[in-house]
Chains A and B, each alone.
Chain A
Amino acid sequence: MTDTATTLHTGAPDTPATGIRWGLLFDHAILIAGSLFMLLPVYLAFMTSTHEAVTIHIGGVQFLPGDRLAENYATVLFDGIGFAGAVNGTTMMVNSMILGFGFAIGKIVVAMMAAYAIVYFRFPLAELAFWAIFFTLLLPLEVRILPSYEIVQKMGLINTYTGLIVPLIASATATFFFRQFFKSVPDELIEAARIDGAGPLKFFRDILVPLSRTMIAAIFIIMFVYGWNQYLWPTLITTNEDYFTLVRGIKQIIQVWVGAQIPEYSQAMALAVLAMLPPVVVVVVFQSWFIKGLTESDK
């Protein structure tokens, strides 16, 4: 830390220094080192996924691209790689999409409706409903995992998309975000709507929902990534490989890794890259929305 002190001191003068600004160079050096630290593991995973398993077995993790990119990804996407060889990457990708989209859309619809009722209506039990919903923010799924599993099992929802998606919606994060947002919507709007004779349904559909577009987009991105990345719940709920998501399928790979003579490192890494790609692309492309949603809704 003392290094920082001296360099910052000499490097950030009020008048631009002549010659090289060492402080600025130092700042860039740290940022580049940080960026490399974040990038390198994924870069290595990708490079490794383009080689033959034997190459990796002999030479270790690969730093340069190999010639097996197409073959490895084709194998992972179209041939069976699961425990019983029954599931391929495409099926898992589709399941991940269903989970990501289903969760994000379900959560947003349920949350917007609940938040609308709580913010815009005065009715008996409103207070109780509010607390009942927001209490769920206190306990993550992990601490009530066993009884949750039993209930879903009793309802016969094991190995169904409903059992996979709906219980994950039982936390009020998005409801909380929308409540904050609705509260910041100016009152003049609802007054104007009333004067124009718009009822509560019309107000919701024609004014509030369009007004929330940016907020919906931001929450959609956050929830899509959250849903796509779920691991523990899909691991418990899906035992049939046809319902495996990419992230859940990772667990199966480990068995292969541990068991095999020459582990299929390249295929494992290809699957990891596939599991990372969609959420990373979404987050990078919609960066500004996503950051706005994340930092403003958590206040």
Chain B
Amino acid sequence: MNKVRFGHSVIPYLFLLPQILIVAVFFYLPAGEAVRSSFYLEDPFGFGSTFVGLDNYRDVLSNAEYRRVAIFTVWFTVLVAFFALAIALVLAVKADAVLRGAKSYRTLLMWVYAIAPPVAGLLGIMLFDQHVGPIVKMASWFGWNLRVGVNYHDTAFAMIVTAVWLQIAVNFIFFLSGLQSIPRSVREAARIDCRSGFRRFWTVTFPLLTPTAFFLVVINITYALFDTFGLIDLMTKNEPGNNPVTLVYKVFLDGFRGNDLGGSSAQSVILMAVVFVLTIVQFRFIERRVHYS
């Protein structure tokens, strides 16, 4: 931070003003309000609110439904992150290895980045549709009666497949750029020292990729927790009843549909704590990544 700087003037304040204003009104005000109302019980008819301390949190955490959603969220996140990372890693390693067609493969494997989660959800609905979906037809060849939207686990399966499909592109882009930043000299030395491609990958390439991988793990957890909202909203077809949903979706349901402002806010604050921890972890890894490279 030893930058040469301009002296004192009114300019920096003017330049900061728009950002600070927007952040204050649309970030700090609502975030503060979420924390505040998590300690209050709102009258459903709008006649004021009562301070109830930690009651909302106690209610949320002791709620069986909330725990069920939390457990599903953990499974969903772990499976989506694992498969999206593993498939992307294999593809990136292969795309880095081939010479012919490398550019075309890169394009073919990264463009899905641009697709919105709800649009991916709509594609998922089509492919997993009871009557017209080809995946349901394929599953029936193996004697699997896939009933998305009816059977809880089948719906979860369809959501995870769709969410993984959507996330592979981002992971691929980062893994490929990580692989390509490994110096030629290191690769050549590794080639001489270690003839087995498989061993070379795990002993030389993968350790050099770990900073990218750690960074991506956090990105993928955040994706599975928050960015899949549209995908889930579509795939449950607006009828979450018996369908699996994640914690973020429940915040939305309880707040907007259930009108349980206090409970929804308490859930928001719990999620804020989770994101907070994740981001701290992420920044620490980024520091390490910069440090090593």
- A residues adjacent to B (C-beta < 8 A): 1, 4-6, 8-9, 11-14, 23-24, 27-28, 30-31, 34-35, 37-39, 41-42, 44-45, 48, 56-57, 60-61, 109-111, 113-114, 116-123, 126, 129, 132-133, 136-140, 142-148, 150-152, 166-167, 169-172, 175, 183, 187, 190-191, 200-201, 203, 225, 228-232, 236, 247, 250-251, 253-255, 257-258, 265, 268-269, 272, 275-276, 279-280, 282-284, 287, 291, 294-295, 298-299
With the chains together, A44 CA to B34 CA distance in Å?
43
Q: Does B125 contact A (CB under 8 A)?
A: yes
CB atoms of B230 and A144 under 8 A apart:
no
Q: Is B150 in contact with chain A by the CB < 8 A criterion? A: no
Q: Are B37 and A283 in contact (CB under 8 A)?
A: no
| Residues from chain B with Cβ under 8 Å of A114 in the complex | 15-16, 18-20
| Alpha-carbon distance A148/B264, docked complex (angstroms) | 13
Of the candidates A120, A123, A171, the one having the most CB atoms from chain B within 10 angstroms of its own CB is A123
CB distance from B88 to the nearest CB of A (A): 9
**Shortest beta-carbon distance from A134 to chain B in Å:** 10
Answer whether residue B63 sits at the interface, using C-beta atoms and an 8 A cutoff. Answer: no
Give 18 A-B contacts (CB < 8 Å), ordered by A residue.
A57-B131, A61-B134, A113-B18, A113-B19, A118-B12, A132-B23, A140-B275, A147-B29, A147-B34, A147-B37, A229-B115, A251-B238, A272-B119, A275-B116, A276-B115, A283-B114, A287-B107, A295-B174
Asked if A31 and B95 sit within 8 Å, CB to CB, the answer is yes
**Alpha-carbon distance A171/B22, docked complex (angstroms):** 9
Known: A48-B126, A299-B290. Contact between A175 and B12, CB under 8 A?
Answer: no
Residue from the list B20, B119, B248 in contact with A143, Cβ < 8 A: B248
Shortest B259–chain A CB gap in Å is 10
B110 interface contact, C-beta 8 A: yes
- Are A44 and B252 interface neighbours, CB within 8 A? no
Chain B residues with Cβ under 8 A from A121's Cβ?
5-6, 8-9, 11-12
Chain B residues with CB under 8 Å of A13's CB are 195
Residues of B within 8 A of A5 (CB): 196-199
Chain B interface, number of residues (Cβ within 8 angstroms): 105
**Assuming the A-B contacts A14-B195, A42-B123, A113-B16, are A145 and B22 also in contact, with contact meaning beta carbons closer than 8 angstroms in the complex?**
no
CA distance A121 to B170 in the complex (A): 35
- Among the listed stretches B48-56, B66-74, B97-105, which one makes contact with chain A, having 4 or more residues with CB under 8 Å of it? B97-105
Task: Flag if B113 contacts A283 (CB, 8 Å).
Answer: yes
Contact A129 B119 (CB under 8 A): no
Residue of B nearest to A109 (CB): B18
Q: CB-CB < 8 A to B5: which residues of A?
A: 120-122, 190
How long is the Cα–Cα vector from A179 to B275 in the complex, in angstroms? 23
A292 to B42, CA, bound (A): 48
Q: Is B109 an interface residue (CB 8 A)?
A: yes
B30: which A residues are within 8 A, CB to CB? Answer: 144, 147-148, 150-151
Distance, CA A2 to CA B238, complexed state (A): 43
